[in-house]
Amino acid sequence: MQIIPLTELERRVRALQDKMKEANVQASLLVENIDRYYFSGTMQQGYLFVPDEGAPLHMVRRNLERAREESSWEQIVPLAGLKQVPSYLQEYSRRGLKTIGLELDVLPVNHFQRLQKLLPQSQFQDISGAVREVRMVKSEFELELFRKAAEMADEMYQQIPALLQEGKPEVVFAAELEAILRKSGHQGVGRMRAFNMEMFFGHVFFGANGALTSFVDSPTGGRGVSAASPQSAGWNKLKAHEPAVVDYGGTYEGYTVDQTRIYSIGSLAPELERAFQVARSIQDAVVDRARPGASCADLYQLAVDMAGQEQFGDYFMGYKEEQVKYIGHGVGLDYDEFPLLSKGSPHVLEPGMVYALEPKFLFPGRGMIGLENTYYVNQVGSVKLSRTSDERMIL
């Protein structure tokens, strides 16, 4: 188990405190699991109180012993229930808290209302944007975890050719890949922050199922095993001369390297093969311009324009009205972090950002064609974290 060093936690908290001061927020009370883990090093249930100066206070409902083992912070105290929070805040802050930041993008309304009743003298302000912006810029400590996640993913992808067989159902193939990843230490879940979004390991599908979208905010969806789980692998069986899509990443100590590769038993139709080459050209053009100071909205438009120039505009990132309005997204502890390489994105690339770029084409009745890789931004440009070759594999 990786213990996040105290120096790393201190860096993260200081970055949040700087943003709190800019917004005139005296303290933040963090509830969401991944946010608490990011700033405390433990996901044990409770509340993380972050004043605008000094160390945070972690109030733990359960499991206190594990929280103290997993976190490098010293101020970790038992919490009997939510009603005990105000007394802890008063004791720890020793001042009246007029403004408290909350993660209002994910905090349930009834939970918010309970906090209002318990802390009537305080005004609450949304701190979620600041939290996500802090998490958007990765440290060298985090980049090393990404590199290990990339190794995990590559080890799995190297074994795919031996597993692809005509007649094999998607879900059986997916289970084989998931077993490989789990044996390597994959946590077995992909996390998404957005409301009502969820992810397992990622997406796997054969042929026409690759062009099926679903409820998840992704260019691809897949059939799934039932209407109760309508995404990723289903019961479709692999046939020759159709795309087999694997959109699985490695996840090491919570950090995910997202990537997609296309395989086939025998060649694909010429139009699909050409679409793959266009996807690679779009990837290369975007990465070439993805350097500090680059507008993420401009990078998105570059990709859309290139797809249109190649007469594939209707198929890019979905088919016609099903198209999503992004070509890439930040990754880290969640699949849907900042920055967003999307239409109208406010984000500008800066060193330390990590993003997954996924130029993809969906052809109804035939499947999905494209690829995805994860990159980090350094002082001069984007560096590829994904290790698997971009070449499409024909078996």
Mean pLDDT by 10 residues, the chain (395 residues): 94 98 97 98 98 97 97 97 95 88 98 97 97 98 98 98 98 98 96 95 97 95 96 97 98 98 98 98 98 98 98 98 97 98 98 98 98 98 98 95
Residue 192 pLDDT: 96
Distance separating alpha carbons of residues 209 and 231, to the nearest angstrom: 10
**CATH entry, 6-135, from 3.40.800.10, 3.40.350.10, 3.40.640.10, 3.40.1260.10:** 3.40.350.10
Cβ contact 292:377 at 8 Å: yes
Q: Which CATH superfamily is domain 137-394 in?
A: Creatinase/methionine aminopeptidase superfamily (3.90.230.10)
Residue 1 pLDDT: 78
Tokens of 46: 């409770």
pLDDT digits (tens, 9 = 90+) for 118-163: 999 999 999 999 999 999 999 999 999 999 999 999 999 999 999 9
Strand partners, 339: none
CA atoms within 13 A on the CB side of 76: 24
Domain residue spans in the chain?
6-135, 137-394
- E strands along the chain, which residues? 27-30, 45-51, 57-62, 76-78, 99-102, 123-126, 202-206, 244-248, 250-252, 255-257, 261-264, 326-330, 337-342, 354-357, 360-363, 367-370, 373-377, 382-384, 393-394
Distance separating alpha carbons of residues 243 and 232, to the nearest angstrom: 14
Residue 44 pLDDT: 98
Tokens of 387: 């290790």
How many Å separate Cα 227 from the centre of its chain?
24
| 6-135 against 137-394: fold identical | no
- E strands along 52-207, which residues? 57-62, 76-78, 99-102, 123-126, 202-206
